[in-house]
Every structure is written in structure tokens, then in C-alpha cells.
Structure 1
Amino acid sequence: MVTTTKHPVLSPRALNRATLDRQLLLRRSPLGVEDAVAHLLGLQAQNTKPPYYALAARLEGFRPEQLSTLMESRAVARIVTMRSTVHTHTARDAVALRRLVQPGAPDRELAVFVGRKGLDGVDLERLAARSRELVEERPHTPKQLREELLQEWPDADPLSLSVAARCILHLVQVTPRGLWGRGGQVALTTTDVWFGDAVPAETADLDETVLRYLGAFGPASVKDMQTWCGLTQLRAAFERLRPRLLVFQDERGTELFDLPDAPRPDEDTPAPPRFLPEFDNLLLSHADRTRVVTPENRSRSWKGNQAFRVFLLDGVLAGLWHLEETKERVTMAIEPFEAIDRRQREELLAEAERTLEVMGPQGVPYEIVFRAPER
């Protein structure tokens, strides 16, 4: 939203440093793993390893086993939430945020499949009840769920049936899926079964979630938060909270809201290199991403629907990194978008070594190579 009211202007670099600080990327945080997952309102988890790499870039003393243990104990879990994509959340957020975003991307995705006629003749209430019965009896893979539902609705589109169940019900991906060093197919059950009475069936308070979003991603506009969570018409919540917030604007005049006591470091604060996983929330949680991605580089971290692993230099997207793992050796290839100087190379090498020492298999040697970007 463009406003004629004059508020203090925050440059892209000032926004960059503020966001990096909220994202625990200016310096590694001493936060515990569960507290960090809560602070960040979850970690993008379309693939199984990104949450681990996301925390390795952000936390002091992190070991992958720490997150894996929390998953195994059901203190955190994998579930479809924001933007109808898989995130790793604390148990409480897995329930509360999933309920909050239901009118957003999940309901819109369901409407798309209904509109494609793949669910003609399917009673959605009955589908939800039957799906709940199946996955609560025992976890089902999407394929198994489709096969069971096809027995009830043989003329329906198989994919539409399982997607509808996923959109309507609040389904957790059960372990061993997502555990560090262990494989497992996606298998689903309800949050009610997975968490039991340990987590209340509450919907996250919208105003509180706005404040939490600003604490993790601010300063930010209304549109920024809508992009992050997949909900629309959030202006009223921001207006309710306006007396409790500071208001800035970017260089184009867009209103940016923030918590009064949130950190906004000097724009000259050093930002160390960081290696981030594909789909990291730093890159997906604002409508205007110029605070971390220059317009010329925005398309270079994606191909089709696939995101690449990226690294930051001076706080902004500066290149890609690739990992090749065998039983004999781990190779990290660093691919800058532009030429880098000796100091930047040395800093990247140091950060790459730390990343591999934390995340690499114990006892397996590694090497780090630089290569020219693919054009």
C-alpha cells in the first residue's frame, strides 16, 4: 500500500539488517532448537533436510540430532501450513497456525480441485469423515489414502481425492519421515492423534500472529505478511495494532510496521556469509524481496518449481551452493553469481567448513570447490 503520510524511511540495506537480525542470521543465536523454531514461526520443509540446514546457519552449537530428537518426541512436526506448503513447526504452532491459515491457501487449493471437476459427485463432508477414520486407524501414505478413497468414489480423480483430504483435515507427516539420517515415506495422521491431549485444539490469535511475524520478519507491510501466510484482508488486524506499533516506510512509500522494541541495527552492521537451504523462509516471506534479493538475481535461485540452495554475502543473495555426497567424500561446490574478492572467498570457505563440520557425516572427508556460475 502506498501512503502519502510521511514516516521515517528505511533503506533496503536497513531493512536487510533488521530482517537478518530477526532471522538469527547476523550472528548465531544461543536459542534452543525448539525456541528457535517457535521464534521463526516454523521452517520451510518441502524437502526433509532444509530445516536442519536452516538451523545450522542460525544457531550456535546446533547439531542435527537435536531437531531430530524433538521430531521423534513429537515436540515438533512436519505439516502443511503457510502457502499450503510443508513446514516444520512446534507442536503448538502445528495445530494453532494450521487452523489459522485454513481459510487461505488450503481452502483455495481445495477450490481449484473442485473446479477441475475431479471431485464431481464427491460429498466433501463424507470424504473428510472417511479420510479421518482411515488415517486415525493407522497412518496412510497419500497413495494408500487414494486407493482407499477410490473404493468409495471410483469415478473421482485419484489425486483430487487425496489433495482434498489433505486440505480439509489437519494432517501431520509422521516419523520416521524427516528424521536426520533416516528415511521414510510421507505417511499421514491427524494432529489430534499425533499430539493427543498434549496440545490444545486452539486457533492462533491473528493479532498475536501479526506481532510474532513482525518479530521474525519485520519491519514489514500488510502485503508482506499476506505473502508469508497465504491469508488475505489482514489490513484490519494491522490497523487494530497500529497504536502499539512503529510505522516506517520504504523508499517507494509503502507503510512498514514494526515492534517498538525490535532490533533495527545500523545498516553498516557487518553481515557474515551464510549458506541457506532451498526454500528458506528468508527468501519467501515478503511480497517485496528486494531487502535480500536484487531484482537481477531473483530468477537465478529457481528453475521451474524447484529452488536451489543459496548463500548470502553482505546479507544478500550472492550465489548457489551444491552438495555431492558419497560414502567416500562430501563435495560442496560454491557458485557465486559475480566475481568475489580474496576476503569474501576466505569468509565463504570458513563458513562452508563450519557448515560441513556440523552437517556432514562423521568421519567422511570433505572438499570445497569454487566454480563459475552456469548461464
Structure 2
Amino acid sequence: MSAPVTVTWSAANARRMGRQFLRTPAKPGEAGPGEVVGAMLGAQAQVSSAAELSVGLRMDGATRQDVREALWGEEPSLVKTYGPRGTIHFLPVAELPLWTGALSAIPGGPSPFKAADRLTESRTEQIVSAIGDALDGARLTIDELGDEVVARTGPWAGDLVLPAFQGVWPRWRSVMHLAGHRGMLCFAPNRGRKVTYTRPPAAGEPPLDAEVATGRLVRRFLYAYGPATPRQYAKWAAAPGAWADAVFASLASSGDIEEVRVEGEPGPSSWVTAGDTEFPEHPEELESVAGVRLLPYFDAYVIASHPRGRLFPGRAYERALAGGQAGNFPVLLIDGVVAGVWHQRRSGRRVTVTVEPLAPLTAARQRDLAGQVERVGEVLEGRAELVVGAVRVGAHA
């Protein structure tokens, strides 16, 4: 057996940026929102405006309206639902069988609820089925959906037992993310200010077989964000580490993935999809082409890329992470690594973008930054102005 390929982190990161449409945004006709989000492996969307910006910045000339049309138009290519880590994501409609098959196969962790408030396996299945039945051909608010679930299951589903942000939620809501993972629930356009839910547009297509979907999603992750270790995949997927170890071992034994060495990383072996071992020979040239980039909250690139210490070097590790967690601050990238944070404030069509670099910028970098701020304004359909200075708001502000 030949020795594993050795790759520098810079080469791996330069390839990652290219595959993320961060080095060169997709040209019109090259990739639409569905294809871009597929390359990202989902766009985290608790803050919908941030997800719209994540996608729009990866497409040459796109605006948030293009992303909204992909979500809510007559022929949607995106769906808003529960994705990796049980968090709200934009996912490609065409890939829902993959996602529902793979996400449903990830073992759950320990329940955070008291034993008396937990659902049995039987009652969990009753609620998931009731959610799917209630949303088939309907668009319901959370209260309307709750009424339908209780009517189809029993009063126990509506017991107010779950601690929530502003009170207590009914028991059935503890499995909403699971209903999303099973393809029974997704978001629909708001009704005024009220969020509504429906069945996904591909609800008639069954999930892929769990083993097939799991292997395919791991290979997709490694293509987008590799080289990566099983534990890095587990962190991205919110999966048990031992389970991820076993999945990677199975894929390695079948020849679907192969080991590589990342120069300077003494930890466990990293992996790529089998045969995917070509990396840029001069990554510093490719990274310099990427230059300056602004990424919003919860951008897929910063959440899924590892190791954290290389992507967030020096002061960036303390300034741009929240307790080691990525995504809570919008970040300034320079040549592929985090080099500052930023914040935007909107007033009508005016968007004020305050950028806090962690080191002085050259004149060329300042011009690049001004161009990026202008692009942020275009995506948000506003007029952007740049302020270079301290960002005084906290994480996820």
C-alpha cells in the first residue's frame, strides 16, 4: 500500500474556497441557488437574511430576491427546513431524498428534558406522522399545527412541559426537527408576521436508504470541506463521535474514502473522497486571488472548515469565535483566513457596514474591502457605506 498523500493546509483551504464559490462567484448560467447551496452542503438559516447573503455573495450579480425566488417561487430549487445539527437550513429541493435519508440515520444524543417529559419511541412516531398528515397540502401556523397534532394524537402531545425562550412549549414541539429530517415538515411563506409550515415540495420522493445516504453525505462533506477527520464531521453533523468513527472506518474499508496527511497537523488521520487527491500546487497564488471576502453569520465555510486554529489564526481565535464556536460573528477573510469581524446596520435602503480588521490593511486591501462592501449592499438591495472601526456589538447581535 502506498503512503498517504501529504498536503499543506494552505492547499487544502485554497481548494475548499474554490469549491465553495468563494474564490470566484458562480457566473450566471453556471450555477443557480440550488447548485450553490448544494456545494455549500446547506446554508444555515436561523437568520434568513444571513443565509440569503451567504448564497448571494457566491453568485455573480445575484441579490436576495434571487434567493427568495428560489425558496418561494413557483418552481422552487431551495427549501427551508431543519438540516445538520437540527438547525434551520436552506437545502436543495433536488437533494432532499439524500438529506432526509442521511439526517434521519444520525443517532440522537441524550435528551435534555426531564424523564417525565420525554416522549417514548411510539409517541415520537405518532407525532411525526401526525405532523406530516396535517401539513399535506396545507400551510399552517405553529398554533394551527399544534391543534392538528393534538387532535390526531391526544392531549398528552399538547402538555406544556418544554422550557422555551419566552415560556413553556407543548411536548410535541420537541420533535419538530425530527419531522424536518424525515421530510414531513418545512417552512412555507410567512402569513403576515406569522411563520407557517408545510410538506416539502419533494414529499412524494422517499428518503434514500440510510446506509447509502450516510456514505454519500460523508463523501459530499469531504469533497466540500476535506481533508477532514471523523470527529470534525461529527461536529458538523452533531453526531456521536464513535458513530462517525465507525462510518469512516466502513467507508475506508470499502475504498470509498482515502487517507491523506495534512502537513503540520499531528492529530488523527484526515480523509478525502477516494481519488480526490489533487490540490493546488501554488495555493498562495489562489488565495491571493480570493483576496478580501465578507461572510455573514453562520456561513457554511467557517462552520465546517477545520482545524479552527488555522482558519482563525492568532487574535482571530479570540475575537471571531464565541467560546470556540464558529458562526456567531460575521467575519472578514483575507486570503482564506479570518482577519477581522464586521457588522451591518440597515436604515431604509442605507446599509452601514462596520469592519474591524485585526491588523492594518494595505491600500490594495482597503480597495478590495470597499468592493466587498459594495457587493454586500447589492445583495441586500441597498446602498452600502463602509466604516472601518471597532465592532461594539456582541456575538449574534
**C-alpha distance in 1 between matches for 2:317 and 2:292:** 18
How far apart are residue 91 of structure 1 and its match? 1.1
Name 2:271's counterpart in structure 1. Answer: 257
The one-letter amino acid of 1:371's match is G
Q: Where does residue 232 of structure 2 map in the other structure?
A: 224
- Unmatched tracts of structure 2, length 5 or more: 162-168
- 2:356 aligned to which of 314, 335, 342: 335
Mapping for residues 1-375 of structure 1, pairs under 5 Å: 7-30=4-27, 31-33=30-32, 34-72=34-72, 73-104=75-106, 107-108=108-109, 111-113=110-112, 115-119=114-118, 123-136=123-136, 138-146=138-146, 149=149, 152-153=155-156, 155-157=159-161, 158-168=169-179, 169-177=182-190, 185-191=194-200, 194-197=201-204, 199-203=205-209, 205-231=213-239, 232-233=243-244, 234-240=247-253, 242=255, 245=258, 247-253=260-266, 254-259=268-273, 260-261=275-276, 264-265=279-280, 266-269=282-285, 270=288, 271-286=290-305, 288-294=307-313, 296-303=315-322, 307-327=328-348, 329-361=350-382, 365-374=383-392
Answer whether contact 1:79 1:94 (CA < 8 A) is retained.
no
Give 2:166's aligned residue.
none
* CA shift in 2, pair 1:327/1:156, >3 Å: closer
Check whether the contact 2:96–2:202 (CA below 8 A) recurs between aligned residues: no
Deviation at 1:249, TM superposition (A): 3.0
Unaligned segments of structure 1, at least 5 residues: none
**Residue 278 of structure 1: how far off its partner (Å):** 0.4
Contact 2:298/2:328 (<8 A) preserved:
yes
CA 38–241 in structure 1, closer or farther in 2 if over 3 Å, else same: farther
**Counterpart code for 1:84:** G
2:61 counterpart SS class: coil
Q: Deviations over 1:111-168 (max 9, x none)?
A: 5155553236883333333333333363333344345556611545134421224324
Shift of 1:76: 1.3
For residue 45 of structure 1, report the CA deviation from its aligned partner. Answer: 1.4
User: 2:9, 2:262 within 8 Å by CA — same for their partners in 1?
Assistant: no
SS of the aligned residue for 2:284 comes to coil
CA shift at 1:8, angstroms?
4.2
Query: How far 1:78 moved relative to its partner?
Result: 0.8
What is the SS of the residue equivalent to 1:176? strand
Q: Is the 8 A contact 1:170 1:190 kept in 2?
A: yes
Partner letter of residue 268 of structure 1? Answer: E
What CA deviation, in whole Å up to 9, does each residue of 1:165-219 have, x standing for no partner? 4324534433325xxxx9754322333xx3344x444346333323222221122
228-237 vs 119-128, greater mean Cα deviation: 119-128
TM-score between the two structures when normalised by the length of structure 1: 0.82
More displaced 10-residue stretch of structure 1: 146-155 or 42-51: 146-155
Choose between structure 1 and 2 for higher RCO, CA contacts under 8 A separated by at least 6 residues. 1
| Larger deviation, residues 114-123 vs 45-54 | 114-123
CA contact (8 A) 1:132 1:190 kept: yes
Partner SS state of residue 187, structure 1 = strand
Q: What residue identity is the alignment partner of 1:267?
A: P
Distance in 2, Cα, partners of 1:243 & 1:125: 33
Counterpart contact for 2:312–2:320, Cα < 8 Å: no
Distance 1:139 1:298, change over 3 A: farther
SS at match of 1:94: helix
User: Displacement, 1:55?
Assistant: 2.2
% of aligned pairs identical?
Answer: 20
TM-score (norm 2): 0.78
> Measured at CA, do residues 351 and 324 of structure 1 come closer, stay the same or move farther in structure 2, by a change above 3 Å?
same
Cα shift at 1:94: 2.8
Which stretch of structure 1 is more off in the superposition, 311-320 or 8-17?
Answer: 8-17
SS in 1 for 2:308: coil
Partners of 1:275 and 1:118 lie apart in 2 by: 43
Kindly provide the CA deviation profile for residues 2-59 of structure 1, in whole angstroms up to 9, marking residues without a partner as x: xxx9644433323322221222212223332222222222212121122321123322
Structure 1 pair 166–245 and aligned structure 2 pair: CA distance change class (3 A): closer
What corresponds to 2:164 in structure 1? none
Q: 1:281 to 1:120 in 2, by over 3 A?
A: closer
Partners of 2:79 and 2:186 within 8 A in 1: yes
Q: Secondary structure at the match of 1:88?
A: strand
Q: Distance in 1 between matches of 2:125 and 2:272?
A: 41
Task: State the one-letter code of the partner of 1:189.
Answer: T
Q: Secondary structure at the match of 1:28?
A: coil
Q: Alpha-carbon deviation of 1:336? A: 1.6
Q: Distance in 2 between matches of 1:273 and 1:15?
A: 18
Matched residues in 2 for 1:126 and 1:256: separation?
41
8 Å CA contact 2:7–2:260 kept in 1: the answer is no
Q: 2-side partners of 1:307 and 1:336: how far apart? A: 17
The letter of the residue matching 2:216 is E
Give the CA RMSD over aligned residues: 3.1
Q: Which secondary structure state, in structure 1, belongs to the residue aligned with residue 116 of structure 2?
A: coil
